[in-house]
Copies of this chain bind each other. A is one copy, B any other.
Amino acid sequence: MAHSPRPGAPVTIAQVGMHAGVSRQTVSSVLNAPHQVDAETRQRVLASIEALRYRPDRAARNAVTRPTGLVGYAMPAAMAPTAFMDQFLRALTGALEASGRRLMLFTAPDGTDGPAVYEELLAQRAVDAFVLTDTSDNDPRHLWLAERDVRFVSFGRTWPTHGSQPGLWVDVDGAAACARLVAGLYQLGHRRIGFVTWDRTTGAMLDRIAGWRTGCGRHGLSTGDDLVVRVAENSIEAGTAAARALLDSADPPTAIMAVSDTLAVGVLGELRRRGLAFGSDVAVTGFDDSEAASVVEGGLTTVRQPVEQIAGTLVELLDTSDYHRGVLLAGEVVNRGSAPLGGAPGPARGR
């Protein structure tokens, strides 16, 4: 095709114009003042930018664009509101301020409709960079932003199950934390450890269940299908139903790990109904260190995410010259009554 750039050479704005059949100036307008360009032309130019993989030169752009000092953050839509996210935003606001930036909130739809909102914000020069969270399988944002040379950092990995995605990220090592929980339960004598998780495949879920598997493998414990229950939603009721299935199975576990505190609270409810003493009869662990974990009777052993460290590392990454780098932080096991880890070793149970 006549318009294709030479392989290896950077694509120029003039080549994009030729490809789209418009002037260089029109391409520039699409990039810098898209509201001045009619929708059809704009679409055509954007398609050419995509097709040729045109990347505006960062230095040239910075020279003409005064930084806003603002970092954009899309409020998560798919996740239920949590105290953790309030805490995370406080920490992120503080860490950004310490670096001379401020946080601007916006809303964006999930999935492939999301990037249009990011595009509009960039066109309006509303922000210099983005912090992403609530990352999902096939999250379209990472590639979209990287292709446009937009600075971003992500709280949450760009999950390799769906091909590796570009970008800088910080995450908590759920696998390592869950393997530590297994080790603690093993020490207490537990030899059959169940796992309650979501049936929706998310990166966090795969990470945590992998840690359970690794931990069990290290101690020669079963990770058979009869020890895993998948539930449709992250609710207390779903956790209760999962506990029922595990406890009524032919060879019930003596410890139950859940992928979230909410599910774990449901598990505790079922133990209570059966008159089982949790912590001693059946040990239970969650993940998140939510408010629920501290208010349930006896307390729920769980994993806390180091929120200040997460926010601080995200801002550090914004300032690096790297474009692809991930930082895995350790989660902290919070020991409470539902699984008093680190206590005296117990006799083997549930083999």
Contact = CB atoms under 8 A, between A and B. Distances in A.
Interface in A97-155: 97, 102-107, 126
A85 interface: yes
A89 interface: yes
Tell me how many chains of this kind the complex includes: 2
A272 B63 CA distance: 67
A43 interface: no
Residue picked from A70, A105, A292, most chain B C-beta under 10 Å: A105
A83 B84 CA distance: 7
A90 interface: yes
A295 B97 CA distance: 36
Interface string A37-76: 0000000000000000000000000000000001000011
Contacts of A103: 104-105
A184 B235 CA distance: 29
Nearest to A69: B126
Contacts of A296: 295-296
B83 A105 contact: no
B102 A75 contact: no
10 contacts: A70-B104, A75-B93, A76-B90, A94-B107, A97-B106, A102-B104, A236-B294, A265-B295, A295-B296, A297-B297
Interface of A: 70, 75-77, 80-87, 89-90, 93-94, 97, 102-107, 126, 236, 265, 269, 272, 290-292, 294-297
